[in-house]
């Protein structure tokens, strides 16, 4: 599925597709929201869960990797070198 096909689904279908196909990447807190980032096929989806009410209030999908910037500093990228 591509981003445009995903966006044509209704909200429940989008959520079900995310649950069935999403790969969790990272999370962050912004204001009153706990935001989780998932990769699905060739695009990304963020879920915005209201911290106090514990409800997903919004989902946002995108392909532009520039929008991954808020997550970059949280990723633990370790380089391992092996000597022969």
What is the secondary structure of 4-28 as a DSSP string?
A: HHHHHS-HHHHHHHHHHH-EEEEEE
State the distance between the two ends of the chain, measured CA to CA, in whole angstroms: 43
d(CA 46, CA 71): 11
Give the whole-angstrom CA distance, residue 37 versus residue 48. Answer: 9
pLDDT tens string 14-37: 999 999 999 999 999 999 999 999
This prediction has a pTM of 0.83
- What is the pLDDT, as a whole number, of residue 2? 96
Query: Which domains, ranges and CATH numbers included, belong to the chain?
Result: 3-72 (3.30.67)
Encode pLDDT of 25-82 as tens digits: 999 999 999 999 999 999 999 999 999 999 999 999 999 999 999 988 766 555 444 4
Q: How far apart are CA 48 and CA 34, in angstroms?
A: 6
Kindly report each contact of residues 12-15 with a partner whose C-beta sits within 8 Å and lies 24 or more positions away, as own/partner. Answer: 14/45, 14/59, 14/61, 15/56, 15/59
């Amino acid at each position: 599925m591509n981003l445009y096909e995903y966006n044509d689904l209704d909200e429940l279908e989008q959520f079900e597709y995310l649950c069935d196909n999403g790969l969790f990447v990272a999370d962050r807190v912004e204001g009153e929201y706990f935001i989780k980032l998932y990769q699905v096929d060739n695009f990304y989806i963020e879920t915005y869960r209201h911290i106090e009410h514990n409800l997903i209030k919004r989902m946002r999908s995108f392909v532009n990797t520039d929008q991954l910037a808020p997550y970059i500093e949280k990723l633990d990228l370790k380089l391992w070198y092996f000597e022969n």
